């Protein structure tokens, strides 16, 4: 793969020499050969010129779900990685919510083999417990050796506090990262949306922020006792931000993420009873959105994720109470973040997180592997079904005005431009 990017504005805040400079970038056989003001295209080199072309290091998403194996009608690994690449992501962490769940080393090998040779690289998470049943720990060490980057019972509460304690203690032997979903099911009960004025008005059962914050507080106490590395995915409440900020001040090894949609939408969007807005954790009040955005800006919240969850129409086009939770988000992630934040902050959020999962960090230097995302940060548009590349179409962003379009990626010796 030989490519010459012409007049690309580089967005790389960590590289002061190149940040916000327009440069030509020559890539030969997947390696950055030259970066210069005006480079001539050698023979057998594809020249790429785009309107308002910007380039950054490749983007990373810490929470992506597909369907294969078991739910291929929702999304295959091949089409999922194609969608991720066209959405600007060069690396994605794959959630363990398939059928069967990946709870052995052979399952991890299967997922890595299915994603091998693609422009977007897949990094699978292994199930924390066997069959994600929350009873016995899965083969954590073997899965780590096979390539699992963390361990997680996807969107399921670790109900047994001793299980979390043992997992944190055991994973320290091989520097493993444990995920714990922030939700107490006993407090959640049969709730489907955020508990508050909107849920009361709509007559829908509520999930109080207490259900999340109680679990977060418990997990942080266990982490303080046991040690280890803990990641709390997709927090949604102001109280959770405060609890995690206090834990970090204590020096605990904890990170957390929030979903783009929990920053962008509040529970007021539920007034239309559109099941695409049913997610877990739920969309919360505007005050929570503000607290989450503040937490992102001050670094309390480590990563922002698309929390991409494809679901077939049979699980979404039903009564709100009966619909499954989840929204796709890869295709809209950049446009939504770029609408909320300045472009430099947006790129910072989209490129951070790899180190937590021990994934190689790309570099913007000559001689390094080319790992780039190409985009136009100024283009505004209304997100429509035609913008969705996923097999499933359950996006809450349909009809929303967004800012920023992705051209594609260059990574792993390939491009999809």
pLDDT of 41 above 90: no
Does the pLDDT value for residue 35 go beyond 90?
A: yes
Q: How do residues 328-382 score in pLDDT, each as one tens digit?
A: 999 999 999 999 999 999 999 999 999 999 999 999 999 999 999 999 999 999 9
Is the preceding peptide bond at 368 cis, omega within 30 degrees of 0? no
What digits encode the pLDDT tens for the residues 97-143?
999 999 999 999 999 999 999 999 999 999 999 999 999 999 999 99
Contacts of 60 (CB under 8 A, 6+ apart): 89, 90, 91, 92, 350, 351, 352, 353, 354, 359
Identify the active-site residue in 267, 307, 312, 321: 307
Would you call 208 helix, strand, or coil by DSSP? Answer: coil
Structure tokens at 336: 């939504």
User: Tens digit of pLDDT for each residue in 176-224?
Assistant: 999 999 999 999 999 999 999 999 999 999 999 999 999 999 999 999 9
153 is annotated as an active-site residue: no
The ranges assigned to domains in the chain are 2-55+366-376+403-415, 58-357
- The CATH homologous superfamily to which domain 2-55+366-376+403-415 belongs is Urease, subunit C, domain 1 (2.30.40.10)
Query: Confidence band (pLDDT; 50, 70, 90) for 249?
Result: very high
Mean pLDDT of 395-403: 98
Q: Report pTM.
A: 0.96
Using the predicted structure, report yes or no on whether residue 42 has a pLDDT greater than 90. Answer: no
pLDDT tier at 1 (50, 70, 90 boundaries)? Answer: confident
Cα radius of gyration rounded to whole Å, the chain: 21
Please tell us whether the domain made up of 58-357 is placed in CATH 1.10.357.10.
Answer: no
Among 237, 305, 235, 272, which Cα is nearest to 398's?
272
pLDDT, mean over the chain: 97
**Which residue has 């570099």 as its token pair?**
363
């Amino acid at each position: 793969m030989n490519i010459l990017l012409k007049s690309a504005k580089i967005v790389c805040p960590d590289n002061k020499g190149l940040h916000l400079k327009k440069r030509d970038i020559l890539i030969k056989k997947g390696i950055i050969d030259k970066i210069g003001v005006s480079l001539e295209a050698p023979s057998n080199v594809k020249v790429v010129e785009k309107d308002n072309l910007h380039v950054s290091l490749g983007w990373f998403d810490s929470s992506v779900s597909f369907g294969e194996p078991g739910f291929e009608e929702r999304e295959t690994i091949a089409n999922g990685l194609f969608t991720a690449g066209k959405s600007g992501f060069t690396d994605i962490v794959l959630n363990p919510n398939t059928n069967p769940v990946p709870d052995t080393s052979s399952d991890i090998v299967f997922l890595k083999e299915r994603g091998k040779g693609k422009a977007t690289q897949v990094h699978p998470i292994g199930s924390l417990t066997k069959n994600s049943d929350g009873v016995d720990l899965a083969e954590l060490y073997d899965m780590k050796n096979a390539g699992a980057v963390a361990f997680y019972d996807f969107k399921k509460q670790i109900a047994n506090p001793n299980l979390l304690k043992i997992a944190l203690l055991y994973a320290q032997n091989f520097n493993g990262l444990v995920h714990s979903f922030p939700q107490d099911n006993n407090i959640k009960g049969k709730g489907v949306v955020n508990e508050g004025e909107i849920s009361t008005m709509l007559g829908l059962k509520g999930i109080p922020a207490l259900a999340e914050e109680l679990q977060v507080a418990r997990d942080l106490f266990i982490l303080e006792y046991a040690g280890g590395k803990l990641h709390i995915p997709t927090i949604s409440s102001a109280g959770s931000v405060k609890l995690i900020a206090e834990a970090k001040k204590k020096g605990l090894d904890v990170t957390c993420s929030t979903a783009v949609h929990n920053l962008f939408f509040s529970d007021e969007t539920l007034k239309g009873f559109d099941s695409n807005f049913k997610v877990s954790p739920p969309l919360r009040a505007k005050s929570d959105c503000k607290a989450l955005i503040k937490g992102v800006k001050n670094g309390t919240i480590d990563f922002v994720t698309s929390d991409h969850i494809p679901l077939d129409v049979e699980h979404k086009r039903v009564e709100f109470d009966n619909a499954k939770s989840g929204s796709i988000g890869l295709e809209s992630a950049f446009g939504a973040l770029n609408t909320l934040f300045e472009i430099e902050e947006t790129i910072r959020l989209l490129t951070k997180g790899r180190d937590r999962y021990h994934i190689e960090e790309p570099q913007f230097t000559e001689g390094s592997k080319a790992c780039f995302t190409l985009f136009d940060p100024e283009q505004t548009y209304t997100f429509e079904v035609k913008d969705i590349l996923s097999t499933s179409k359950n996006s809450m962003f349909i009809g929303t005005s967004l800012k920023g379009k992705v051209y594609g990626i260059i990574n792993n010796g390939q491009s999809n431009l």
